[in-house]
Amino acid sequence: MNTDVIIRRTETRGLAQAAGAMFLVGTLAGVAGVIQDYPLYGGQALRYLLAAAVLLAVARVAGPRPVRLTPRETALLAALSLTGLVVFNICVIEATRHGGPALVGTVLGTVPLALALLDGRPSPRVIGAAAVVVAGATVATGLGSGDLPGLLWSLGALVCEVCFSLLALPLLPRLGAIRVSAYSAALAVPLLAAAGLLIDGAGMVRVPTFAEAAGLGYQSIIVTTVAFFLWYDALPRLGPARAGLFAGLIPVGAIATGALLGLGAPSAADLAGAALVVTGIAIGLSAPGRGPRGDGS
């Protein structure tokens, strides 16, 4: 098969996966209200425990043969799990308590710009496109209000979100998207359980209601198992700068989910922000790509 055709197919797959992953992450807003009364850290530990079990089972059945982790890979996975999953969740939880979800969403809307700036030598068009996506995410989310601790927790979440992508890049060529997703989720379980014991004690877990079980299951299977795999499979195909543009779809996913579940019709600001996000993504994707960095599947 022609090399150009293979590259185009690889990139097209990456574009669809990155868009799907970030849209699914945005749907978290639709289940947040359902699980808001469940112990936060214990609930997240259960979420990652189920996701790790599913991903490890998939890796065993369909994945490549087992690989022995090097000390460097082990350290990277531990850092990825600690920052991109555990500390990220803690930062988002604390930021929401201080400043509300709007402040967190606004700060996380700068993820595309951060990834573009950190991706070696990004083109001016990609940087400009990332700025448009950031503006759209900010408009859609709404400029939040909060105190200094809320802002600092939000900035911590931003750093952790960037680590979630950049720490995975050197792992993906050899381990693949399924194993990186599975190992990072598994490593997060004892860390979140420890945080839950420290903060909530014996009340860190309880039998969930039917609605809470459904919400936690959605977080685990759709937002973690599916979205993690899609994102990690897309990253090597697109590179962090171009893939990062799709982080602007997080508020779009939240808007769509809210409308679908009858939680409120989107406002003019919601629609304007979504339009800006789509425009920014289109601008960024029109820039010449540097080609895939490896299959990672």
Low-confidence ranges of the chain (pLDDT < 50): 291-297
Q: Measured in Å, how far apart are the chain's first and last C-alpha atoms?
A: 19
- Output the pLDDT for position 56: 92
Structural domains of the chain, count = 1
- Output the pLDDT for position 69: 92
For 78, the domain range is 16-285
Q: Is this prediction's pTM over 0.75?
A: yes
Which of 45, 17, 12 shows the shortest CA–CA distance to 195?
45
- Output the pLDDT for position 134: 76
Write out the DSSP string of 1-64. Answer: --HHHHHHHHHHHHHHHHHHHHHHHHTHHHHHTTSTTS-HHHHHHHHHHHHHHHHHHHHHHHSP
Whether 10 is covered by a domain: the verdict is: no
Whether 294 is covered by a domain: the verdict is: no
Whether 190 is covered by a domain: the verdict is: yes
Whether 291 is covered by a domain: the verdict is: no
Whether 296 is covered by a domain: the verdict is: no
Whether 205 is covered by a domain: the verdict is: yes
Whether 195 is covered by a domain: the verdict is: yes
- Output the pLDDT for position 184: 95
Whether 87 is covered by a domain: the verdict is: yes
- Residue 29 CA to residue 15 CA, distance in Å, equals 23
